[in-house]
């Protein structure tokens, strides 16, 4: 892990060997969202301030003084990590996201602001680092440092957990997940994190078995992820955003859409120990035309959410058993403002493993890749 | 199963289509003495099962009492046609819409039955309970669905060779049938109904639902109906087969611009199902959405199945349920998914009779007192519809009544069939030499060949029953039935599992039996046996006059020449028919001179100089000259050397092959002429056993249990397999754990050509298993 380096640091325009020029960015360009972390130095000396070039200043001001950028860019202010020391510099780490669809506009902005004149390295991970590499080069004269998304994810995650969330633990879990009445959120840290099963739910899902910071493998993945939830919700309900879809889901009742065990067997299926309330067939009621005609959008959204979430839980649980790992950490932007899913995952892990498995969640759910990319910026400094 | 969308779909499924008239000789056959009914009612299809006894004619041979000197003819034995009763299982599948018509029909034709209950399973059982009880006067007794499914699955896996297949789209043969494993357990059954159940089956009675998923056929149907406004399951599949999922799904290349190389994820891989439908403000076609949904669900189920297979360390995974049920589209997507997730380590297996499992299982539950599992059963090709493609454009052969009724009939075999204990590896043994599903030119030739031979078979069948005036009419029905089977197989070679020369021959025997021609060659066999016996002593005497060395060769040539007498081979039957005097000596002249096409005579000869074998098992072929002048002298020599001999012959008739009944009589009369045979019989050094087969070919994995017992008791160290059917069409590549000798004359010019030989080329294949012991001895 990166350590703050010792010794006084020279200002950036001297091009020191071991400190990268500002601005410090880390970027994770996913299938649906671009996650951007920005380190805002707060220990800028007057001398530094004076020598700071104008467009660097304007970038800093633009990013830190706004919480929304354009129509779709958002800064998650509540996630900001304050007074962080990185490479001997103190600053605030900002977390910004915008849709991948807006990527061409973002690159355009990079050109308009003459970003290339800053001589910084733009560290990028996620598939978009590869997909948009040429556009960055040709449109904005910017060279990306492309980084593997899973490397970045693990580095970023371990880093954020270690520096803690402004003095509070980064992680949390649910106590009594099987009981809706007494189910409560509890914070925790990943003190001894290995081995862990890391389930990253973005547009799709990747499941990793992590044994140490540099020793991990991708166990499997599934294409039924956040993108599927949103995609199906848009088609089924006409909604347009993730927030809208979740809002609808929170008001719906999936049992009007899904066929439960009791709908088929009248009660529990005792021969196989299946509870009557278990879902037997997702969207099973929708085979009937009458039921299709009378179903509400909210119920459909909820059923979609429950279906996708349960499926991820089920796959994660089996991977945990096959890999003999008891700690399952769920991350990714699918879990953002999505307590329905986090609670359901916690419940599913607990119930199906009879208490053997525990689901853990992290507050900066979708940003670890971007943080990891930022950390790489400093790692590459000494390269000749 | 899919709701069949009708124009009058507003009428409830209880409103029956009464217009259909059921022909009693085709559907619900043998109802007169039917008992033990079981019914499996699914979402749209009903499967009815019952047990019945079938009376059919069998040809029996009986020795004349020669001591009384009363016999007015020269025949050694008499042939009588007797009635025999065998047990048969009938399974009929039809649309739920016909249920009332069918129940009425059954009631009208059910004559004497003491049956009081009908076992029922399936989701629709409760819905029709009242109707069944009212119509049939039987009490409906519900059985657990999954238990029935597993019971049925075990039954078909155990009794139907080539029940399971892998599905490989875009290949010459999409259906690749699997050899039945000696031990069918353990396996995983993934039943994809509205949801998914994953069941681990460890033994006949031990199974456990180890997991499942709510994302199944109901999800495809329900979600698909919402997305595409299409009602039916089949319609959705149709849509899906025309769609492009890439416009709806987010692929790896949509995110990466290409592949994700370091993880080995190719660009075309789906990263997020429906991932594009969230971002674009555009309309998606029904076809594309249906396709995307199909991929999503198939991949998900495949992944879960793989995870469970890995968790429980199982490699045999069968897929069933209405989502699969013969649909090439879903079989393909599931297969693709399994291949992807296991990197080819696990194969997705499907079952030919998957739709019948519940009904079979329910039937077995009700028949436990008859203990059906203690018997072996065989699929009756004459009475079974075979696997049909459900896709209309893939199914040019329309069945009668537009595929409304599908049938499976299984005969109870007289004997329990088991593996030959001498197979080197029973699990990899494949009886048939050429797979006609994969080998298109061979398929074409053999289908043509069987079709061409049909006239002769019909003629022979009529001639075998000269006293029965209606024989011609029955023979004509046989012709139609068998011709129809051949046509079906031409279009759907996979209909009855592996298509082989053996299956074509067996199907013909089943069809002949169906129309009461139990043994069309009985008279010819009788004549030939009588004729050949007259020459026995002369032949033996001539052989005894030879030097030891000359005699060994003459004996082998005798077996080969005898084997030329084969009515099953067209080239020979032409000669036999035109020239009944075609003699043994002429046959010898026809034989290819050494070196033969396959020639290990020198090794065999060397072996004969060594110590005698302990006991030889001889699978014999034809009647007449073959068995009497070819095989018997050879056997006599083995006996003289001190080798015991077990003669294995067919249990039932097939072409002019000698049956066990005939061989008993023949051996007795040879013994009367030959003290060597006489004493060997008395000392129990020569014994006759039946093979359990009624086929001109030989499946060493399905032999009479008694034969297997004899093999173990006698420490067989030499297996001799004779004839084209047993040693070339089948078993040519069979590896045995003891020495073996395969002898045949190729009496078919096409086959000879294939093998690089000519008509009457000789295959003489002597093989010694390579054991560590021997290979060590061979190492200098």
Residue at A165 is within a domain: no
Read off the pLDDT band of B318 (50, 70, 90): very high
Nearest CA in chain A to B250: A31
Min Cα distance A227 → chain B (Å) is 4
Do A175 and A196 lie in one domain? The reply is yes
Please indicate, yes or no, whether residues A52 and A186 belong to a single structural domain of this protein.
no
Pick A157 or B161 by higher pLDDT: A157
**Are B383 and B407 a contacting pair, CB within 8 Å?**
yes
Q: Which residue is closest to A132 within chain B, CA to CA? A: B257
pLDDT of residue B438: 87
Q: Is A222 on the interface with B (CB under 8 A)?
A: yes
> What confidence tier does B82 reach under pLDDT thresholds 50, 70, 90?
confident
Query: Among the listed ranges A308-312, B582-586, B690-694, which one has the minimum average pLDDT value?
Result: B582-586
In a domain, A333, yes or no: yes
Measured in degrees and rounded to the nearest 5, phi and psi for residue B434 equal -120, 130
ipTM of this predicted structure:
0.93
Q: What H or E segment, with its residue span, contains residue A108?
A: helix A103-112
What gap in Å lies between CA A56 and CA A48, rounded to an integer? 12
Residue A46 lies in a domain: yes
**pTM of the full structure:** 0.88
Number of domains observed in the structure of chain A: 3
- B223–A283: do the CB atoms touch at under 8 Å? yes
The topology under which CATH files domain B521-767 is Rossmann fold (3.40.50)
Note which residues in 11-70 of chain A have CB less than 8 A from chain B. Answer: 30-32
- Residue B665 burial (CB count, 10 A): 16
Q: Which of A101, A66, A312, A89 is nearest to A201 (CA)?
A: A312
- Per-residue pLDDT band at B571 (split at 50, 70, 90): low
Same domain, A193 and A148: no
A148 chain-B contacts, CB cut-off 8 A: 262
pLDDT tens track for A33-80: 999 999 999 998 888 888 888 888 988 999 999 999 989 999 999 999
The answer to whether the CB of B128 falls within 8 A of the CB of B41 is: yes
Q: Identify the H or E element spanning A92.
A: strand A89-99
Cis amide prior to A286 (ω within 30 degrees): no
- Tell me the nearest-neighbour CA distance from B469 into chain A, angstroms: 58
User: Which SS3 state, helix, strand or coil, does residue B55 take?
Assistant: strand
Residue of B271, B282, B288, B298 best to disrupt the A interface, most CBs of A under 10 A: B271
Looking at residue B173, its pLDDT comes to 76
Domain that holds residue A87: 24-154+368-380
**Residue B1, pLDDT score:** 32
Hey, what are B560's tokens?
Answer: 């080969």
H helix intervals, B519-583? 522-544, 548-562, 570-578
pLDDT at B372: 79
Integer angstrom CA distances of residue B440 from A336, B111, B444, B487 = 58, 47, 6, 15
- A170-209 pLDDT tens trace: 999 999 998 888 899 999 988 889 999 999 999 999 999 9
Closest to B226 in 3D by CA, of B273, B271, B293: B293
Please report residues of B whose CB lies closer than 8 A to that of A223: 249, 270-273, 275, 296, 299
**Better-predicted residue by pLDDT, A11 or A45:** A45
Which residue is it, tokens 């007795």? Answer: B668
Same domain for A106 and A36: yes
Instruction: Report the percent of chain B where pLDDT is more than 90.
Output: 62
A341 and A278 assigned to the same domain: no
Q: Does B296 contact A30 at a Cβ distance shorter than 8 Å?
A: no
Q: Which residues contact B426 (CB under 8 A, 6 or more apart)?
A: B182, B419, B701
Residue A271 in domain: yes
- Tell me which residue in A203, A232, A271 faces B144 most closely, judged by beta carbons: A271
**A280 interaction partners in chain B (CB closer than 8 Å):** 194-195, 214, 218
Biggest alpha carbon–alpha carbon distance for chain B: 101
Q: Which residues 288-317 of A have a C-beta within 8 angstroms of B?
A: 289, 292, 300, 307, 310-311, 314-315
B319 - beta bridge partners? B190, B350
Q: What is the DSSP letter of B245?
A: G
What's the CATH architecture for B164-248+284-351? Answer: 2-Layer Sandwich (3.30)
Residue A132 in domain: yes
Interchain pair B277, A235: CB under 8 A: yes
Residues A175, A157: Cα–Cα separation, whole Å: 23
User: Do B164-248+284-351 and B24-66+80-159+358-413 have the same topology in CATH?
Assistant: yes
Q: State which H helix or E strand residue B156 sits in.
A: helix B145-159
Considering only CB atoms, A234 lies closest to which of B226, B278, B341, namely: B278
Q: Is residue A36 located within the same domain as residue A72?
A: yes
pLDDT-based confidence at B575, cuts 50/70/90? low
Q: Are A69 and A137 members of one domain? A: yes
A343 shares its domain with A286: no
Indicate the burial class of B591 (C-beta count within 10 angstroms; 0-12, 13-18, 19 or more): middle
Phi-psi region of A363 (alpha: psi -120 to 50; beta: other; left: phi over 0): alpha
* Residue at A3 is within a domain: no
Q: Return the H-helix or E-strand segment holding A69.
A: strand A68-69
Binned at pLDDT 50, 70 and 90, residue B18 comes out as very low
Chain A residues with CB inside 8 Å of B192's CB? none
CB distance B305 to A316 below 8 Å: no
A246, A271: one domain: no
CA distance A243 to chain B (A): 12
Q: The tokens of B1 are what?
A: 């199963």
- For chain B, domain boundaries: 24-66+80-159+358-413, 164-248+284-351, 434-515, 521-767
Q: Find the residue in A nearest to B9 (Cα).
A: A289
| Higher per-residue confidence, B395 vs A307 | A307
- Which helix (DSSP H) or strand (DSSP E) does residue A105 occupy? helix A103-112
Q: How far apart are CA A340 and CA A344, in angstroms?
A: 6
> Is the CB of A204 less than 8 angstroms away from the CB of B274?
no
Weakest-pLDDT range from B167-171, B190-194, B241-245, B454-458: B167-171
Q: Would you call A287 an interface residue with chain B, using a CB distance cutoff of 8 Å?
A: yes
- What is the rounded distance in angstroms from the CA atom of residue A359 to the CA atom of residue A346? 5
Chain B closest CA to A172's CA: distance in Å?
Answer: 27
Which has the closest alpha carbon to B249: A142, A224, A143?
A224
**Cβ contacts (< 8 Å) between B300 and chain A: which residues?**
222, 224, 311
Lowest mean pLDDT among A38-47, A55-64, B572-581, B590-599: B572-581
Nearest CA distance, B181 vs chain A (angstrom): 28
Q: Please indicate whether residue A52 is annotated as part of the active site.
A: no
Fold (topology level) of B24-66+80-159+358-413: Nucleotidyltransferase; domain 5 (3.30.420)
Identify whether residues A209 and A357 lie together within a single domain.
yes
pLDDT digits (tens, 9 = 90+) for B21-77: 666 667 778 777 788 889 999 877 899 999 888 887 777 888 776 554 444 556 788
pLDDT band at residue A355, thresholds of 50, 70 and 90? confident
Q: Does A259 touch chain B (CB under 8 A)?
A: yes
CATH of the domain at A319: 3.30.420.40
Distance from the B344 Cα atom to the nearest Cα atom in chain A, whole angstroms: 15
User: Which sign, positive or negative, has the C-alpha torsion B654, B656, B657, B661?
Assistant: positive
Q: For residue B289, list chain A residues with Cβ-Cβ distance below 8 A.
A: 235
The residue among A287, A292, A322 with the most chain B CBs within 10 A of its CB, best to mutate, is A287
> Are residues A242 and A331 both part of a single domain?
yes
Return the bridge partners of A37, or none: A26, A95
The span from the CA of B263 to the CA of B599, in Å, is: 55
Q: If you classify domain B434-515 with CATH, what class do you get?
A: mainly alpha
- Taking all residues of chain B, what is their mean pLDDT, rounded to a whole number? 87
Site from A29, A30, A31 to mutate, B interface, most B CB atoms within 10 angstroms? A31
The mean-pLDDT minimum among A247-251, B461-465, B768-772 falls in B768-772
Q: Is residue A185 domain-shared with residue A48, that is, in the same domain?
A: no
A164 within a domain of the structure (yes/no): no
Q: Rounded to a whole number, what is the distance in Å from the CA of B212 to chain A's nearest CA?
A: 9
Which residues from A are below 8 Å from B270, CB to CB? Answer: 204, 223
Q: Is the peptide bond before B186 cis (omega within 30 degrees of 0)?
A: yes
pLDDT at B528: 86
A106 has pLDDT over 50? yes
Tell me the chain B residues in contact with residue A286 when contact means C-beta distances shorter than 8 Å: 221-223, 225-226
Q: What is the mean pLDDT of residues B185-209?
A: 94
Query: A224 vs B123: CB contact, 8 Å cut-off?
Result: no
* CATH label of the domain that carries residue A116: 3.30.420.510
> Which pair of tokens denotes residue B85?
């009763």
Tell me what the mean pLDDT of segment B179-204 comes to.
92
Residue A176 lies in a domain: yes
- Using the Cβ of A276 and the Cβ atoms of chain B, whether some distance falls under 8 Å is answered with no
Decide if A99 and B279 are in contact by the 8 Å CB cutoff: yes
Predicted pLDDT at A116: 86
Question: Mean pLDDT over residues B475-487, rounded?
Answer: 95
Can you give the pLDDT at residue B391?
A: 44
> Of B643, B593, B641, which is closest to residue B617 (Cα–Cα)?
B643
Run of H or E residues at B287 = helix B286-311
CB contact under 8 A, B279 and A101: yes
Residues B534-560 have pLDDT tens digits of 889 999 999 999 999 999 999 999 999
Give the residue among A287, A245, A224 at the shortest CA–CA distance from B224: A287
């Amino acid at each position: 892990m990166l350590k703050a380096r010792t010794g006084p640091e020279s200002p950036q325009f001297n091009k020191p060997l071991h400190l990268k020029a500002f601005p410090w960015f880390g970027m994770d360009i996913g299938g649906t969202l671009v996650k951007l972390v920005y380190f805002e130095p707060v220990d800028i000396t007057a001398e530094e301030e004076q020598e700071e070039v104008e467009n660097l200043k304007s970038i800093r001001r633009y990013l830190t003084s706004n919480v929304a950028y354009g129509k779709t860019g958002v800064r998650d202010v509540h996630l900001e990590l304050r007074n962080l020391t990185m490479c001997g510099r103190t600053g605030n780490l900002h977390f910004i996201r915008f849709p991948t669809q807006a990527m061409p506009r973002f690159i355009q902005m990079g050109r308009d602001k003459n970003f290339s004149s800053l001589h910084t390295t733009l560290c990028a991970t996620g598939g978009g680092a590869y997909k948009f590499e040429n556009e960055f080069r040709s449109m904005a004269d910017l060279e990306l440092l492309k980084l593997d998304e899973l490397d970045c994810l693990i580095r970023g995650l371990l880093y954020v957990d270690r520096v803690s969330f402004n003095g509070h633990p980064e992680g949390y879990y649910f106590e009594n997940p099987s009981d809706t009445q007494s189910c409560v959120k509890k914070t925790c840290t990943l003190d001894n994190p290995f081995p862990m099963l890391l389930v990253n739910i973005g547009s799709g899902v990747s499941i990793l078995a992590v044994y140490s910071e540099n020793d991990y493998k991708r166990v499997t993945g599934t294409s039924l992820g956040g993108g599927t939830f949103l995609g199906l919700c848009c088609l089924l309900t006409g909604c347009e955003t993730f927030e809208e879809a979740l809002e609808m889901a929170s008001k719906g009742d999936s049992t009007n859409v899904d066929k439960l065990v009791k709908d088929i067997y009248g009660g529990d299926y005792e021969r196989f120990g299946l509870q009557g309330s278990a879902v037997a067939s997702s969207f099973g009621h929708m085979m009937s035309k009458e039921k299709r005609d009378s179903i509400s959008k909210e119920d459909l959204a909820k059923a979609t959410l429950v279906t996708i979430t349960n499926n991820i839980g089920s796959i994660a649980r089996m991977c945990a058993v096959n890999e003999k790992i008891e700690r399952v950490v769920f991350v990714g932007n699918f879990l953002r403002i999505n307590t329905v899913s986090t609670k359901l995952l916690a419940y599913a892990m607990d119930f199906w493993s009879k208490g053997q498995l525990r689901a853990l969640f992290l507050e900066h759910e979708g940003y670890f890749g971007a943080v990891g990319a930022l950390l790489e910026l400093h790692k590459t400094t000494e390269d000749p | 199963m899919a709701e069949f969308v009708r124009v009058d779909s507003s009428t409830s499924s209880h409103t029956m289509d009464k217009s259909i008239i059921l022909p009693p000789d085709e559907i619900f056959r043998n109802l007169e003495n039917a008992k033990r009914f079981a019914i499996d009612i699914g979402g749209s299809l009903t499967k009815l099962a019952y047990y019945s006894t079938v009376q059919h004619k069998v040809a029996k041979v009986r020795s004349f009492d020669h001591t009384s000197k009363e016999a007015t003819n020269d025949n050694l034995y008499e042939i009588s046609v007797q009635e025999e009763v065998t047990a048969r299982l009938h399974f009929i599948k039809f649309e739920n819409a016909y249920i009332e018509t069918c129940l009425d029909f059954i009631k009208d034709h059910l004559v004497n039955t003491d049956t009081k209950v009908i076992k029922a399973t399936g989701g629709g059982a409760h819905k029709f309970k009242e109707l069944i009880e009212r119509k049939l006067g039987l009490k409906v007794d519900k059985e657990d669905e999954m238990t029935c499914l597993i019971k049925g699955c075990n039954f078909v896996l155990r009794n139907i060779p080539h029940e399971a297949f892998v599905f490989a789209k875009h290949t010459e043969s999409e259906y690749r049938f699997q050899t039945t494993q000696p031990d069918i357990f353990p396996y995983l059954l993934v039943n994809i109904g509205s949801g998914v159940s994953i069941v681990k089956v460890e033994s006949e009675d031990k199974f456990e639902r180890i997991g499942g998923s709510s994302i199944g056929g109901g999800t495809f149907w329900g979600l698909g109906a919402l997305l595409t406004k299409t009602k039916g399951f089949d319609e959705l599949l149709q849509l899906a087969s025309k769609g492009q999922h890439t416009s709806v799904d987010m692929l790896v290349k949509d995110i990466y611009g290409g592949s994700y190389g370091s993880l080995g994820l190719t660009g075309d891989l789906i990263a997020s199902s429906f991932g594009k439908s969230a971002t674009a403000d555009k309309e998606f076609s029904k076809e594309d959405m249906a396709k995307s949904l199909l991929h999503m669900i198939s991949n998900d189920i495949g992944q879960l199945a793989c995870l469970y297979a890995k968790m429980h360390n199982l490699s045999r995974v069968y897929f069933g349920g209405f989502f699969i049920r013969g649909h090439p589209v879903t079989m393909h997507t599931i297969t693709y998914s399994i291949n992807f997730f296991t990197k080819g380590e696990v194969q997705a297996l499907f079952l030919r009779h998957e739709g019948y499992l519940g009904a079979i299982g329910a039937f077995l539950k009700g028949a436990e007192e008859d203990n059906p599992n203690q018997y072996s059963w065989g699929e009756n090709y004459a009475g079974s519809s075979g696997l049909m493609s459900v896709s209309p454009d893939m199914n040019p052969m329309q069945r009668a009544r537009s595929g409304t009724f599908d049938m499976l009939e299984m005969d109870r075999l007289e004997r329990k069939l088991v593996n030959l204990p001498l197979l080197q590896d029973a699990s990899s043994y494949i009886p048939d030499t050429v797979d006609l599903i994969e080998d298109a030119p061979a398929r074409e030739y053999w289908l043509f060949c069987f079709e061409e031979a049909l006239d002769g078979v019909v003629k022979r069948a009529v001639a075998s029953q000269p006293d029965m005036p209606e024989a011609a009419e029955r023979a004509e029905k046989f012709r139609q039935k068998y011709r129809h089977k051949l046509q079906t197989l031409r279009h759907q070679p996979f209909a009855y599992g592996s298509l082989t020369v053996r299956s074509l021959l067996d199907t013909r025997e089943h069809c002949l039996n169906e129309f009461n021609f139990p043994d069309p060659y009985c008279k010819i066999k009788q004549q030939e046996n009588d004729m050949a016996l007259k020459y026995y002593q002369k032949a033996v005497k001539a052989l005894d006059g030879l030097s030891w060395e000359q005699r060994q060769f003459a004996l082998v040539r005798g077996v080969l020449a005898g084997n030329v007498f084969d009515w099953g081979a067209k080239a020979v039957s032409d000669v036999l028919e035109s020239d009944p005097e075609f003699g043994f000596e002429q046959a010898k002249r026809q034989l290819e001179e050494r070196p033969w096409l396959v020639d290990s005579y020198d090794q065999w000869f060397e072996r004969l100089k060594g110590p005698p074998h302990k006991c030889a098992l001889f699978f014999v072929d034809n009647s007449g000259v073959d068995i009497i002048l070819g095989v018997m002298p050879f056997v006599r020599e083995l006996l003289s050397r001190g080798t015991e001999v077990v003669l294995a012959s067919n249990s039932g008739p097939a072409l002019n092959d000698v049956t066990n009944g005939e061989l008993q009589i023949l051996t007795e009369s040879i013994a009367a002429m030959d003290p060597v045979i006489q004493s060997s019989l008395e000392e129990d050094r020569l014994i006759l056993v039946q093979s359990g087969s009624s086929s001109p070919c030989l499946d060493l994995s399905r032999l009479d249990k008694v034969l297997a017992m004899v093999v173990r008791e006698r420490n067989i160290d030499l297996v001799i397999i004779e004839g084209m059917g047993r040693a070339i069409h089948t078993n040519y590549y069979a590896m045995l754990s003891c020495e073996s000798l395969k002898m045949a004359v190729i009496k078919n010019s096409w086959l000879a050509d294939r093998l690089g030989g000519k008509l009457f080329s000789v295959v003489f294949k002597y093989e010694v298993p390579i054991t560590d012991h021997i290979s060590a001895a061979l190492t200098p």
